[in-house]
Structure 1
Amino acid sequence: MIVVTGATGNIGRELVERLLAAGVGVRAVSRDPERAGLPAGVEVVRADLTDGADLGALLAGARALFLNIAATGLEAGALIEAATKAGVRRIVFNSSMSVTDTPADEEGFIARAHAAAERAIRDSGLEWTFVRGGMYATNALQWAEQIRSEGVVRGAYAEAVGAPVHEADLADLAAAALLDTTGTHLGQAYVATGPAGVTMAEQVAAIGRALGRPDVRFEEISFEEAVAAMERAGAPRVAAEDIIRYFGASVGQEALVTDAVQRVTGHPARSFEQWARDHVADFR
């Protein structure tokens, strides 16, 4: 049995499908099981990982845990401790490329939260693998309403560059680590990226091409306007500032591109163009 947190999220849904295809039992965590919409054969358990409830029953009989701290309110210590007590042997953690194993990890909100979880997992004595995702291609979903209604995406840095990683590739990496029987992936921190650097403006244009709308474009706004927009969407201000500063620092730089997806899964990382084609329905 493998417990999947964040099972109804973009990565979680893909991961659940892979684990089911491999023939392993899956226990998915959801605040609202009736609306989870997960495949038949998944044990969907009602739990709110942010409320301090007893987690023993959730983890009973599980051999591995996929941990996504987006589902734990950025505080994963209680769940990691509960996993250790419940006899879970392995944690695969959906971490962040912002973690660098240097003192800089304490400087940013996102890096600090993920680095703390990584330390807790290492200290637990359990087997572990970290999947340090970079810029998520799914971040572009935040533009859906702007694209539908206006065909204009407003953001702080049109030339901010990254190598957006497809959620399917992150799920492939996590599945490989969770299903590993040889120890190949134990103690590894995989930095996962897409196959090439793409600017924000280029991402928007790629979505336009997938939609058959060449008029879709990116329009630059100020740093403060971009922070305010993220706050309105529900992001804490400190996180919004960290993210937008990170984007600003990338302007004029070469995006970090790794071969982690290829090395672990045997297939090339999916491009942002492919991601846009896969998500056409989300922008219509």
Structure 2
Amino acid sequence: MAAVNVIVFGATGDVGSHAARTAQQLGANVFLAVRDLAKPVPGLTAEQEKAGRFERVKADLNDAESVGAAVTSTKATRALIYLAHGPDHGMKACIPALKSAGIEFVVFLSSYSVRGRPAETSSDDYISYAHALVELTLAETFGEQNYVAVRPAFFASNILWWSEEIRSGDARIPYPDALFDWIAPADIGRVCGTILAKPEAATGDGDERSVVFLVGPQQMSQRDALAIIGRAIGKDISVTAVSDDEGVALMKKMGVPEGVARSAMNQWSKMNEGSDWYRGSAYEKALRNIEAITERKPLDFAAWADENKQKPGTEWFPKDACEWPDRWVRAGDAVGMTLQATSSTSGLTVVENLTTGRPESHRFANQRELCGFNAEWIVEDLSYDG
């Protein structure tokens, strides 16, 4: 049987990159749909992309024409998509464009906050309602048997909303004692990639084959999660509760849309009071779904924190003394740095030694490659292009 062509939208994110790699490992031909063709894909070097026969194509889920063109050019028949925040509510232009161009099956990165049938979801909660609208469009366009909505709960990477507070050692955050499940984005991606390559892997929850709920392996408060981060990076982090408005302001500083932030505050308030999210038979099945679908045990939060503590972009690891790997920058030298492309796991930077006048480019795959541990950077100029 010929390998199936799949297209992964959002491949430069943690979920998308793991989905792409998983689908490829399971025999699919994988096309990486990205808005910026030069942006690194986490976990894939240029050499690995070539060896794995990954191909990039430019597309934006807010631009239905580009979506259709990407699918047509790749001859993909399956797609992974996510909620594109924009004027196309319910993605009513994008999703029909997928089908018209040749997509037969869709995996949608939805949300655990969509409880029950999408048509019954209240418009009062932005996060659940926005995802439910997309699920409705998928059902109308593809039919119940030709899409799967993967509904993960609270991402472990959400702790990065508090990067600045972690770095300062003083975390002033909303609802520090509310319990969450801290699911690793890598596990979500592996589930999505497995279903993309093998749709039969999605047995569905309840009466709906088209829905798969996912949760992390343990419930934990934000306070306890921050303590784990503190141990991982060797820093004491104090925790103080703040109001909803202060929480929204903090999240907006991290690039979270206000509607999403206020919806989060509403959900967290319920979690703080003892929500039923993490109780009952549906929750128990969601606990088993990651291992049942991927045949791998899920990462717990401590393992996720340890894996991510050295990644550029997390911004909460300690500032280490650094030396460039080829030793052309010495302790005391001043440098100018221009990051031409970056992500949470890799990047390309041009560094000029302002002391000697020597410029050089370097691609790094992790913080250890970028920094080393032997001398200090003295950065006189830092700019980011892209």
Query: TM-score scaled by structure 2?
Result: 0.68
Give the equivalent residue in structure 2 for 1:107: 124
Residue pair 1:81, 1:124 contacting (<8 A) in 2 also? yes
**Number of residue equivalences:** 282
What are the ranges of 5 or more consecutive residues in structure 2 without an aligned counterpart?
Answer: 318-386
1:66 aligned to 77, 80, 85, which one? 80
Q: Matches of residues 1-284 of structure 1 in structure 2 within 5 Å?
A: 1-37=5-41, 38=44, 39-40=49-50, 41-60=53-72, 61-70=75-84, 75=89, 76-102=91-117, 103-126=120-143, 127-148=146-167, 150-180=168-198, 182=200, 184-185=202-203, 187-213=209-235, 215-253=236-274, 256=278, 257=283, 258-281=287-310, 282=314, 283-284=316-317
Residue pair 1:94, 1:131 contacting (<8 A) in 2 also? yes
- How far apart in 1 are the matches of 2:306 and 2:82? 26
- How far apart in 2 are the matches of 1:104 and 1:88? 27
- How far apart in 1 are the matches of 2:135 and 2:256? 22
**Aligned-partner residue type, residue 288 of structure 2:** D
CA 1:27 to 1:73, structure 2 compared with 1: closer, same or farther past 3 Å? farther
Give the equivalent residue in structure 1 for 2:337: none
- How far apart in 1 are the matches of 2:234 and 2:220? 19
- How far apart in 2 are the matches of 1:114 and 1:210? 34
CA deviation string 1:32-53 (max 9, x = no partner): 1112345333211122332453
Deviation (angstroms), 1:73? 7.0
- How far apart in 2 are the matches of 1:64 and 1:80? 12
- How far apart in 1 are the matches of 2:237 and 2:19? 32
* Partner SS for 1:96: coil
**Aligned-partner residue type, residue 28 of structure 1:** L
- How far apart in 1 are the matches of 2:178 and 2:109? 24
Residue pair 1:92, 1:129 contacting (<8 A) in 2 also? yes
* Partner SS for 1:53: helix
Identity of aligned residues (%): 26
Residue pair 1:6, 1:70 contacting (<8 A) in 2 also? no
Residue pair 1:3, 1:62 contacting (<8 A) in 2 also? yes
- How far apart in 1 are the matches of 2:182 and 2:193? 20
Q: Which has the higher contact order (CA 8 A, sep 6+)?
A: 1
**Aligned-partner residue type, residue 191 of structure 2:** L
**Aligned-partner residue type, residue 138 of structure 1:** S
> How much is the aligned-residue C-alpha RMSD, in angstroms?
2.2
Residue pair 1:200, 1:218 contacting (<8 A) in 2 also? no
Greater helix percent: which structure? 1
Residue pair 1:158, 1:220 contacting (<8 A) in 2 also? yes
What are the ranges of 5 or more consecutive residues in structure 1 without an aligned counterpart?
Answer: none
* Partner SS for 1:55: helix
- How far apart in 2 are the matches of 1:185 and 1:169? 17
